[in-house]
Structure 1
Amino acid sequence: MRTGTTARSIAFTGAALLALTACGGETEEGGDTGAEGGGEKQVNIYGTDGNMGNALGEDFSEPGALAGMKGTLPLTDLSSDFRDRLLEIDPDLQDYNYAGETYDAVVISALAAQMAGTNDANVFKAYVNGVTFGGDKCEDFTSCLEIVNSGGNPDYDGISGPLAFAEPGEPAVASYGIQQFGEDNTIDDEATEFVFAGDEENAASDEGPAPAPAGTTGEPLVIGYLLPETGNLAFLGPPEIAAFNLAINDINAAGGVLGAPVRAEGGDSGDTSTDTATQTVDRLLQAGVNVIVGAASSGVSQTVIDTITGAGVMQISPANTSDIFTTYNDNGLYFRTAPPDLLQGQALADLILADGNNTVGILALNDPYGTGLAESTRENLIAGGLAEGDIETIIYDPQAANFDSEVQQMVEMNPDAIVVIGFEESSKIIQGLNAQGIGPQR
């Protein structure tokens, strides 16, 4: 296991995108290949977890429109067995983004409830962090439950990595995937690299109260999901929902929690432009859930977190990355298996710097995820040696009719690299960049 900040010595696939040769560009050594001394430099395009998925490529019909676009996302090197089991749940899966994190969110919640001997989230919240560090190692619910039933403390290292929650209830170290699009505008899985950011040494130290007696029974644990079936993150919904259902199946196959099968509920989170999440949360609370897994969007979670935690229900997100939740007043009831943007900012900045970029433009949507990750990336680029003047950040309205102004500002800046931090509207931005000759298409 590699811990510590992401090593810049990691050999990323393709240190930089290929330089132009057809219409006069610079070679990777900086030599001018253009006729009559002219030249057009290659601008490297980067994405993040909000747009680094095969769903983005569905908006591009011309081959090579996304070729070489790279990006970072919380991602573990998922085993073929886990992927196959997800496909049994949903044979139409195209991506596996946040599937491991969703599966782990369900398992951690179930283990904490069993250790507390109750389905009351106000009680079992004290056990959640301790499930992820300090005890006996285990990698699935069955083996962890055996440790609990023998009076021990499980250290669950699940599908999404070492976990090791810090005091705020979030991973202290996380695995990231470095992915890129191929000529067919889909993710080239063979080019994916995995790196770690953060440090397991920063995990909390309090493992929680003494566990309840082995085999304690009680009222059934009810876990609901609040995940995107519609909206600008709908492409994340299928792998997350499949992983949620797989975890429920595995837990119940092992005997359930508190002597009874876990009952599952679920509903659509929509996005911040609708009140879908609010309606779903109201329905889930009326159904008596003890835990809500979700939302995927940090902006959506911000709209419902007070309602969920105020009702004494635990919220655990598999995909929220905004740093605002690290210090949020949540009554100790908010957790996440996705790492905060503080860590993704390290991984993304390291990738950009390793590719030799000296000037960077950042286009980020105006929500907690976009602005938070943009600032974290900027800070890490500066820490890595870029001057403040070498970085320009533009915050945009994701509901805007077009992004011509933002694209034009990138044209005028003429940076070595452009980072697009957004959701489904990213396709319009990248189409605009391509039209101006500074996108991934060449």
Structure 2
Amino acid sequence: MRTGILARSAAVSAAALLVLTACGGGDDEGAAAEGDGGGGGEKQVNIYGTDGNMGNALGEDFTENGALAGMKGTTPLTELGSDFTDRLLEIDPALQDYNYAGETYDAIIITALAAQAAGTNDANVFKAYVNGITTGGDTCTDFAACLELINSGGNVDYDGISGPLSFADAGEPAQASFGLLQFGDDNALDNDATEYVLAGDESGATSDEGPAYAPPGATGGPLVIGTLLPLTGNLAFLGPPEVAGAKLAVNDINAAGGVLGAPVQLVEGDSGDASTDTATQTVDRLLQSGVNAIIGAASSGVSLTVIDAITGAGVMQFSPANTSDQFTAYNDNGLYFRTAPPDTLQARALADLIIADGNNTVGILALNDPYGTGLAENTLNNLVDAGLSEDDIVSITYDPQAANFDAEVQQMVEFNPDAIVVIGFEESSRILQGLNDQGIGPQR
């Protein structure tokens, strides 16, 4: 397993193997990067996205072939085996993407194992077991095997669908796998071109494996898990794989005998997005229904609106997709966890990809919310650490609710960078169309 601040050689080799048209490849790439730094000629600008927009739903907004061709980006993603994806398709045959399905699945498995190890469904007690479930002890890779370890007096180290996990003291992965994704000529993700890199270091995992386990076979009240996932709003494209991951996890847990001698109960709910109060209403309903843990939200901005209500009620919040680094040190009563890696890790993978493609000047367009601004700042810092000067980078935030993004696009036209990073959600398609209209987008 590769460790270190970033598996740089993997990112470089992945970029070389892809030979993406986004960067022209070989000598053409160098010519494009060197050509016309002042906007007086044509060059193909390299376009990058991140997990908020690197999905097939983005391509559905474009009808002209090649509108997204060669656009690349990063997303927390591990190489999912066909066994897992086939079982997800049994839950939802209409799935187009699998983003955060593994992270959602793992969040529920970890929660269930922590409750069994603690011998109670009280989150204020089983929260102390969560980090330790992911590191140290004997490795197991599914709920049934981990439950057998617990019931035989063993110590669990769950390595999940989404990666090695290995939580740090802050309740988040110390190391994570990222997918390097690419859109093809048909404006859909080219799965054959996907490569994987590791960011972070497992040595950052906690050394505190938690309290001693409850006696084997401990029983108690049923574990009730609620979901706060995006069925509507600007992250609705992430909803189907996350919902499928949650349902599959509960099915697997209950097929193995459940938790504390009883089936796990699932209460589903919609998070909406940060522009609505859907999440607040859903959380109120979930708390009233007596949930012990809530899986979600996907949006960092949404989670920040409900985290105090959830953790203040003594309920665990476990997000499969929050990446804002604000949560690392958040005052959450020890009740907030996430299987998604913080943006400090994704920014390293993204910056490495940009540098490996030979870009010397970079424009960043980021939506103005905790996810967008945090990832933009961390990416900028990593680009500077990699050798670019701050004068080589322009970072602009935008209002995702704006009527148009003409001003921001014009700033990119004037800067005329080698690469543009778009950090956003569903509004990204309008930004990318604006870039295409000005001849600096991904369109071929």
Instruction: Tell me the residue number matched to 1:354.
Output: 356
Q: Does 1:17 align with 2:21?
A: yes
2:409 to 392, 407, 411: 407
Aligned pairs (5 A) from 1:7-406: 7-10=7-10, 11=13, 12=15, 13-15=17-19, 17=21, 27-30=28-31, 39-406=41-408
CA distance in 2, matches of 1:180, 1:190: 9
Instruction: Name the TM-score, length of structure 1 as normaliser.
Output: 0.96
Report the alpha carbon displacement of residue 29 of structure 1 after superposing the two structures with TM. 4.2
Give the aligned residue type for 1:51: N
Identity of aligned residues (%): 76
CA distance in 1, matches of 2:23, 2:126: 55
* Contact kept in structure 2, 1:170 and 1:336, CA below 8 Å: yes
Report the alpha carbon displacement of residue 18 of structure 1 after superposing the two structures with TM. 5.3
* Contact kept in structure 1, 2:105 and 2:245, CA below 8 Å: yes
Alpha carbons of 1:383 and 1:213: their partners in 2 closer, same or farther (altered >3 Å)? same
Give the aligned residue type for 2:89: L
CA distance in 2, matches of 1:286, 1:150: 36
CA distance in 2, matches of 1:177, 1:210: 36
Alpha carbons of 1:27 and 1:332: their partners in 2 closer, same or farther (altered >3 Å)? same
CA distance in 2, matches of 1:158, 1:29: 41
SS in 2 for 1:28: helix
Report the alpha carbon displacement of residue 222 of structure 1 after superposing the two structures with TM. 0.2
* Contact kept in structure 2, 1:98 and 1:319, CA below 8 Å: yes
SS in 2 for 1:292: strand
CA distance in 1, matches of 2:333, 2:215: 26
CA distance in 1, matches of 2:290, 2:159: 29
RMSD (Å) for aligned C-alpha atoms: 1.6
Moved over 4 A (4+): 18-21, 31-34
Q: Does 1:2 align with 2:2?
A: yes
Unaligned runs of 5+ in 2: none
1:15-37 CA deviation, whole Å, 9 max, x = no partner? 5535789xxxx833428999xxx
* Contact kept in structure 2, 1:75 and 1:176, CA below 8 Å: yes
Report the alpha carbon displacement of residue 9 of structure 1 after superposing the two structures with TM. 2.8
CA distance in 2, matches of 1:29, 1:354: 12
Unaligned runs of 5+ in 1: none
Report the alpha carbon displacement of residue 151 of structure 1 after superposing the two structures with TM. 1.4
Alpha carbons of 1:19 and 1:332: their partners in 2 closer, same or farther (altered >3 Å)? closer
Give the aligned residue type for 2:422: V
Report the alpha carbon displacement of residue 41 of structure 1 after superposing the two structures with TM. 1.4
Q: How many corresponding residue pairs? A: 435
Report the alpha carbon displacement of residue 150 of structure 1 after superposing the two structures with TM. 1.3
* Contact kept in structure 2, 1:20 and 1:40, CA below 8 Å: no
1:179-230 CA deviation, whole Å, 9 max, x = no partner? 0000000000000000000000000110000010000100000011000000
Instruction: Name the TM-score, length of structure 2 as normaliser.
Output: 0.96
Report the alpha carbon displacement of residue 153 of structure 1 after superposing the two structures with TM. 1.4
Instruction: Tell me the residue number matched to 2:427.
Output: 425
Q: Which stretch shows the higher mean deviation, 58-67 or 3-12?
A: 3-12
CA distance in 2, matches of 1:111, 1:170: 16
CA distance in 2, matches of 1:149, 1:232: 43
CA distance in 2, matches of 1:52, 1:84: 22
Give the aligned residue type for 1:117: G
* Contact kept in structure 1, 2:91 and 2:248, CA below 8 Å: yes
